[in-house]
Structure 1
C-alpha cells in the first residue's frame, strides 16, 4: 500500500482543502478532517484510475515537510492511503468464528452484497481508516 502525502489548508470560514505535491492537479476538500480524508482517498483513486501509479512515486513525509518549511504558510500534512484495485480475483481460505461469519453474512445480505464483496469493502475501509 502506498501513502501519498497531502498538504492540508484551512482558511477561516472555509472547508479544509488538500493537494498532493506528488500528484499534480489532484486535490479535494471536506467540511471536517474525516470527510477530507474520505474525499482525498477518492480523489487519488480517480486521479490514478487510468494512470500507471509507478509514474507517480510517493515521497517520504519528512522530505515533503522539509520542502514546505521554506514556504512558511499555515498547513499540516496528511498521509492518504492508496491501494490499486481492479486486479484479478484470488481465492483464499480463512478461518472465522461461526457467529462472526453469520453476522457478516447477515450484514452482506442487508446491503445486497456477496460475502466476498462485503469483506473486501470492510477491508478497504479499515485500510483507509474510514470508521
Structure 2
C-alpha cells in the first residue's frame, strides 16, 4: 500500500522534513533524503499500528496528484513522494503458531493467563501489544 508523502527540502543545517497528509499528525525527518523517506515509512507504520490497536479507522491513501494541487503542498519548498506500507499490518486473521518454552515458563504463563481471566493465546497477544 502506497501513501503519498510531502518532503520539505533540507539544507546543510536542517533536516529533510516529511509529512504524510493522509495520516494526521504523522511526520518524520532525516539528515538525508533517503533517511527521511525510511524514517517516514517507519513513522507511518507505527501510526497505523497505533490506530488499529485503539480501534480507530485508517484513512485510505489519497491520489498524489490531488495532494500536490492543494495550496498547502503546492509551494516550491515541497517535493512529493511515496512510502510503501506492508499490508500485513492490517491483517487481523488468527494464525496458529508453534512455540517452544521450558515447562516452568509455560506453567507460569498459564497461571498468569488464568489469573487475568484470559486464554494463553489472548494473554500472550495482550502482552505483545502492550510492550
Q: What's the secondary structure of 1:47's corresponding residue? A: helix
Distance 1:69 1:45, change over 3 A: closer
1:72 aligns to what? 75
Structure 1 residue 45, shift from structure 2 partner? 0.8
Please say which structure displays the higher CA radius of gyration.
2
Structure 1 residue 73, shift from structure 2 partner? 4.4
| Pairwise CA RMSD | 2.5
Answer whether contact 2:67 2:73 (CA < 8 A) is retained.
no
1:85 aligns to what? 88
What TM-score comes out, normalization by structure 1 length? 0.58
Separation of aligned partners in 1, 2:41 and 2:75: 26
Which of 59, 63, 66 aligns to 1:63? It is 66
Structure 1 residue 69, shift from structure 2 partner? 7.3
Separation of aligned partners in 2, 1:49 and 1:59: 19
Answer whether contact 2:68 2:74 (CA < 8 A) is retained.
no
Separation of aligned partners in 1, 2:61 and 2:38: 19
Separation of aligned partners in 1, 2:60 and 2:73: 23
CA shift digits 1:14-73 (9 cap, x unpaired): 010001110010000011111111111100111011324853110011111111477534
Separation of aligned partners in 2, 1:81 and 1:39: 12
Q: What's the secondary structure of 2:14's corresponding residue? A: coil
What TM-score comes out, normalization by structure 2 length? 0.58
Kindly indicate whether residue 7 of structure 2 is the aligned counterpart of residue 4 of structure 1: no
